[in-house]
Amino acid sequence: MKRKLLALVLAAGKGTRFKSDKIKVLHPMLGKPMIHLVVDCMHALRPETIHVVVGYQKDSVMKEEFSKPVEFIHQKKQLGTAHAVLAAKKILQSNKDKDLLVINGDLTLIRPESLRPMIRQHQREKNALTFLSAIMENPTGFGRVTYHENNVIRIFEEKDATPAQRRIKEANVGVYLFKIEDLLRALPKISNKNIKGEFYLTDIIEIMSGDKGRVGVYKAPEEQEIVGINDRYELAQAVEILRQRKIISLAESGVTIYDPSTTWIDFDVKIGRDTTLYSSVVLEGKTVIGQGCKLYPFVHIRDSRIGHEVKILTSTMIEESTIAKGAQIGPFTHLRPKSNVKAGAKVGNFVEMKSTVFGRGSKAGHLSYLGDTEVKDNVNIGAGTITCNYDGKKKHKTVIEEGAFIGSGTELVAPVKIGKDSYVGAGSTITKNVSSGALAVSRSRQVEKPRWVKKKRKK
Ligand code: UD1
Ligand code: CA
């Protein structure tokens, strides 16, 4: 019979080698804190529960919103990986007949597909412990796996290893599967007599082995998945692997990516088929892009929703905004948070928006600022239109009704409302509401002095 599974993620350590004010496992990879990647991998294996051992900066880790519920265990002092597992003693004691999958919180690249065969092997061989090892080109930083008489397997931590042991290419990955009752019996036997003075979980392998067949080794098939991210360069290298994975999966789903090497797409971004990304596009956070869109070079989008068949031209930034079907944005447009551009609208060169609804088919082609504005459908915003929404203390609203035409170089001093189908003459400063169907002009009349230049020169 299959034994039931619990999961334990070790994430109490500071991650000293990161040299950061923030705990290692909260550093993001493609927009997701590391710990989420590990927790999500555990979820995919469907354990009964997932416990996360927290300690250093535990409040920040516990504040994270995980995709599925997890429970936390507090390891008050970080005395080593075995000590971290011991922090879960209570839970383990009430689940003796089950298996426990322990994973280091920095193993963010391992995929559930790679762990499933390990779980199967563990159950087939009825092991007390099965651990994951990998043959690595460069195992620096990893514990090395050594085999001895009477089936004894022993891990030497890099710091405790002799030069000869350091040349061993088989590394301990940091994933262990235990029969909980055997784990509970062996844990108290671990000592901290080593260079770091820590209780190493890896010592349990020697303690539990020896007994024929009780400890199994599962060799990881994918070396690429094995990175125990200890410093920020290792982080960058791991992120690079994730970045490529994301691009490959999008390409496989029907997205054209012209220049994968310069394209950045966060983990949670979704893109519809037949959308094309030119080089140097950056898509972050929870961005969703529809089908058949074109994103030209240097487009940077964060936490936004883009409908189908939207064109976003060069050097445009879009933050926390929505753009509906068939709209065209850019080049050089900045849509700040809460901009909502409706279907078929055009927003062009050097236009900035913030908290603005921009109606269907409306156009703002050049050099404008629209803040806290409601632009209804089919409005034309002339070049250089500026909403003066801020009086130094408060923000005020501008409403531009359907079909209105705002002449170029206009200032709309909010709060103000421009009526339906009305016209505002170019160069106006509008401080009062404009009725629908009216023409409003507010600029001084032009004066002309005939032959003025000639007279001046005579003097
Ligand atoms: C560990 C293994 C090493 C293995 C490597 C793979 C040990 C002793 N060594 O070394 O054999 O090759 O992982 O990546 O286990 N943690 C706690 N509480 C503690 C100490 C650590 O929760 O008291 C957590 C850390 O937050 C981290 C994980 O355990 O997520 C592993 O700790 P880390 O310091 O990264 O271990 P390594 O030195 O990499
Ligand atoms: Ca590590």
Quick: pLDDT tens for 181-217: 999 999 999 999 999 999 999 999 999 997 666 899 9
Q: With left for phi above 0 and alpha for psi between -120 and 50, is residue 135 left, alpha or beta?
A: beta
pLDDT at 213: 62
Class of domain 5-225: alpha beta
Tell me the CA–centroid distance for residue 176 and ligand 2, in Å. Answer: 14
366 catalytically annotated: yes
Ligand 2 centroid–CA 262 distance in Å is 29
Which candidate, 18, 62, 174, 19, places its Cα nearest to that of 108? 174
Q: Which residues contact 254 (CB under 8 A, 6 or more apart)?
A: 272, 273, 274
The pLDDT of residue 212: 64
> pLDDT averaged over the chain?
96
| Structure-block tokens of residue 200 | 């190493």
CB of 155 within 6 A of ligand 1: the answer is: yes
CATH superfamily assigned to domain 232-440? Hexapeptide repeat proteins (2.160.10.10)
Tens-place pLDDT, residues 259-293: 999 999 999 999 999 999 999 999 999 999 999 99
> Tell me: the pLDDT tens digits for 66-78?
998 999 999 999 9
Q: If pLDDT is split at 50, 70 and 90, which confidence band does 119 have?
A: very high
Separation CA 305–CA 339 (nearest Å): 11
pLDDT of the residue at 201: 98
Q: How many helices (H) and strands (E) does the chain have?
A: 10, 39
What are the angstrom distances between the C-alpha of 266 and each of 236, 292, 300, 397?
A: 14, 20, 12, 34
Q: 419 pLDDT band (50/70/90 cuts)?
A: very high
Pick the catalytic residue from 36, 51, 308, 366: 366
Give the pLDDT confidence score for residue 379 in this predicted structure. 98
Could you tell me if the CB of 172 is within 6 A of ligand 1? yes
Q: Is the CB of 419 under 6 A from ligand 1?
A: no
Q: Is the pLDDT of residue 456 over 90?
A: yes
Say yes or no: CB of residue 301 within 6 Å of ligand 1: no
Ligand 1 atom 11: the closest Cα is on which residue? 143
Handedness of CA 13, 18, 21, 25 (dihedral sign): negative
pTM attached to this predicted model: 0.92
In the chain, where are the structural domains located?
Answer: 5-225, 232-440
The alpha carbon of 9 and the centre of ligand 1 are apart by a number of angstroms equal to 11
Task: Give mean pLDDT, residues 289-301.
Answer: 98
Taking the CA of residue 106 as reference, the ligand 1 atom at the shortest distance is: 30
Checking if the pLDDT of 223 tops 90, the result is no
* Count of other CB atoms within 10 angstroms of residue 196: 12
